[in-house]
Chains A and B, each alone.
Chain A
Amino acid sequence: MSERSEETPTLDELREMTPEEQMIAGAATDGVYVVHRRDRFPIPGTNAEKRAERAVALCFVIAALAGVGFVVAFVAIPYQWHLPGTPQNFRFYTPALGGLLAIMLIFMGVGLVLWAKLLMPEEEVVQDRHEHAASSEEDILMTEATLSVGLADTGLPRRSLILRSLGLAGGAIATVPLVALVGGMLKKPGKQLFHTLYAPDAATFPDTNGMVPLVYSDWRRVSPDDLLPGSIATVFPGVRALGPDGKDGVHSASSPTLLIRLRPGQVVKPRKGQADFGWPAENPEFLAFSKICTHAGCPASLYEQQTTRLLCPCHQSQFEVLDDAKPVFGPATRSLPKLPLGVDIGSDGRQYFHARSDYKEAIGPAFWERP
């Protein structure tokens, strides 16, 4: 593909030329033409040249000093140090390190750019498009023919049965390694997503007929007297045993539940069949909903006690608590699952909450097997 243009000089001619002319001739053989070249300072030693040199050198010196300063700051400045008079009163260690590093790199770069702009010769260069980038006509014709005759020889364009069966086989061969590799990484959660640790367990909780007590994060049992009207609390199943995800009741991802005490005058309109899930059953004042948003799983715990809206901060789904946590805004489409509450008398005579059963549906966002 390489060719010698008419401009390539002979060896004798080259020997006659100055290095600069040789460079220009060499570029010309590659199709790169130096259109304009001028030394910025043809007369050496002028004041302007000295100024430019000093400017570039100054940039490099500043970069060097900043580098040294970085090492000194790293070693010598205590991390708590801050300038007493600064209005924001922030700590100076990290900004000092960052600033010195920035100065070092920036001035190194600026020095290099100024060197090219102020001191190096001006040059304007033009490069030819490749004249014969395309192949020759003969080559094109012969290659075309080779490919098309090769395809015709296989007979595929007219043997559609072979073509289709080949497609099937090819698809299968491609899928098998994919399935083997990716399938090994998938683990079906099975029944795990359908149950939480609120499911009754007669063996562990004989005092409450197997029903799981509600606890705070410090394992204290939750009493109705703890909450005032308009109050909320985050409660968990009081299960010490580790669940299928390896966590106990207070730490399991499916556990967090929002216990709400409604203000007087706020009446909830329950879902069908869940009218007695609140407590007291006739006129529910306490409601418990799963905190896990049915949209994407963030904890929806921004409760507005006056408007009874429950807001999820991630995508701003709003649930109307008096409508049994039905979504009224945002991307969520399913109500938050409601936990059936019950109350038993503890050993100290106080009332305490327990969960009468597990949630009646899977909590949290939708998944494939969810009905």
Chain B
Amino acid sequence: MTEDFDVEGELGFEPAVPAVPDLPPRPARTKRRGLRRRLGAAAVLLVGLASMGGAYAAFAGTSGASGTTSGSDNIAAGKQLYETSCITCHGANLQGVTDRGPSLLGVGGAAVYFQVSTGRMPLAGQGPDSERKTAKFDETQIDQIAAYVQSMGGGPSIPQGTLRDQDIAAGGELFRLNCASCHGTTGRGAPLSAGKLIPSLNNASDKQIYSAMQTGPEDMPIFSDNQLTPQEKREIVAYVQTLKASKDPGGNGIARIGPVSEAVVIWVGGIGVLMIAILWIGAKTQ
């Protein structure tokens, strides 16, 4: 029993595996050759992937939809675009497909404008909500799809003309009463229940803000023209855009979300620097 334990020895116990005498060091050439082989393999893999991806992006291009105007009719062109991009989830007669997409009858061109110009539609995948991404269609194509949807079911049409008003103060009051609870007082958005997110208004254009109010996309409530008159909607748009364009008087706005980002700067940056200074002051000099 005592032979198993090396009590007096340096280790104090018997090692499980007997110590192996030191191997001679690997010759330098094999070491470098091994490393070089691995690097070469990685480079080949990278080049292969990049070339495949690049070739696909270059030759595949955008989807089959092209802004052809078969005839001078916007509606017919819109129908064509609809049938290549939207029909799978929204149905052949815009009636919607269960568990895939809602009916578009009655949503109007304004809804189409909002959803397609912010890139939310065509949807990348089902999830709690759709997120803003690069728009797949250009302005003309959006107008065509909007005209088609409008012709099929009616609804609010794409807002036209100047969408801003002069009374920013009134817009601010309306914004704080109706919009700030969800979009935040600085218009940077907020989280919703079950993984949904209220988007920031940072990238929204006048038309997008106006059409969002008019059509109530996804979980946003609809604000009819009786509830918020077109004048009031224009005031809100003017307020939001002025808010976005205004300069931060105190320097960097740090995403304008308030205490969270400010706390990161103070606690990580500021206190970190202070700790370093404390250590430096107390350090012994040579």
Q: Please give the residue numbers on chain A whose beta carbons come within 8 Å of chain B beta carbons, in ascending order.
A: 79-80, 82, 88-95, 98, 113, 117-118, 122, 217, 223, 225-234, 299, 301-307, 309, 311, 313, 316, 318, 329
Contacts and interface: CB of A to CB of B under 8 A. Distances in A.
Contact of A226 (B226, B248, B249): B226
B222 A305 contact: yes
Given A223-B226, A234-B177, A304 B250 contact: no
B181 interface: yes
Contact of A318 (B173, B193, B221, B253): B193
6 contacts: A90-B253, A92-B251, A93-B249, A231-B227, A234-B177, A305-B220
Given A227-B227, A234-B177, A94 B250 contact: yes
B70 interface: no
B104 to A, nearest CB: 15
Given A306-B218, A307-B219, A228 B224 contact: yes
A78 B159 CA distance: 40
B216 A230 contact: yes
Q: Which 4 A-B pairs have the closest CB atoms?
A: A304-B219, A95-B251, A226-B226, A301-B181
A302 B247 contact: no
A226 B227 contact: yes
Contacts of A233: 227
Interface string B208-232: 0000000010111111101100000
Contacts of B196: 304
A290 to B, nearest CB: 15
B281 interface: yes
Contact of A90 (B178, B218, B248): B248
Interface in B245-286: 247-253, 280-281, 285
B192 interface: yes
Given A117-B285, A226-B227, A231-B224, A299 B250 contact: no
Given A299-B181, A304-B196, A231 B249 contact: no
Contacts of A228: 216, 222, 224, 227
A91 B222 contact: no
A258 to B, nearest CB: 10
Contact of B193 (A80, A82, A309): A309
Contacts of A316: 193
Nearest to A304: B219
A67 to B, nearest CB: 20
Contact of A234 (B178, B194, B281): B178
A262 to B, nearest CB: 11
B220 to A, nearest CB: 7
A93 B178 CA distance: 34
A91 B181 contact: no
Nearest to A308: B219
B224 A91 contact: no
Contacts of A299: 181
A343 B174 CA distance: 26
B281 A113 contact: yes
A305 B198 CA distance: 13
Contacts of B76: none
Contacts of A217: 173, 177
B181 A305 contact: no
A86 B103 CA distance: 47
A231 B216 contact: yes
Nearest to A311: B193
B182 interface: yes
A304 B227 CA distance: 18
B190 interface: yes
A133 B32 CA distance: 69
Contact of B192 (A118, A301, A302): A302
A73 to B, nearest CB: 14
A93 B177 CA distance: 32
A93 B249 CA distance: 8
B134 to A, nearest CB: 22
Nearest to A40: B285
Contacts of B253: 88, 90
Contact of B252 (A88, A118, A223, A234): A88
Contacts of B177: 217, 234
A80 B223 CA distance: 37
B192 to A, nearest CB: 6
A106 B84 CA distance: 65
Contacts of A91: 247-251
A313 B181 contact: yes
A59 B192 CA distance: 52
B194 A307 contact: yes
A304 B226 contact: no
Which of B192, B220, B252 has the most C-beta atoms of chain A within 10 angstroms of its own C-beta? B192
Contacts of B280: 113
Contacts of A90: 247-248, 251-253
A329 B193 contact: yes
Given A91-B251, A304-B196, A311-B192, A231 B221 contact: yes
Given A91-B251, A95-B250, A113-B281, 14 more contacts: A118-B285, A226-B224, A226-B226, A227-B224, A228-B227, A231-B222, A231-B227, A232-B221, A302-B192, A302-B198, A305-B216, A307-B193, A311-B193, A313-B190
A151 B219 CA distance: 75
Contacts of A118: 285
A92 B250 CA distance: 8
A234 B216 CA distance: 16
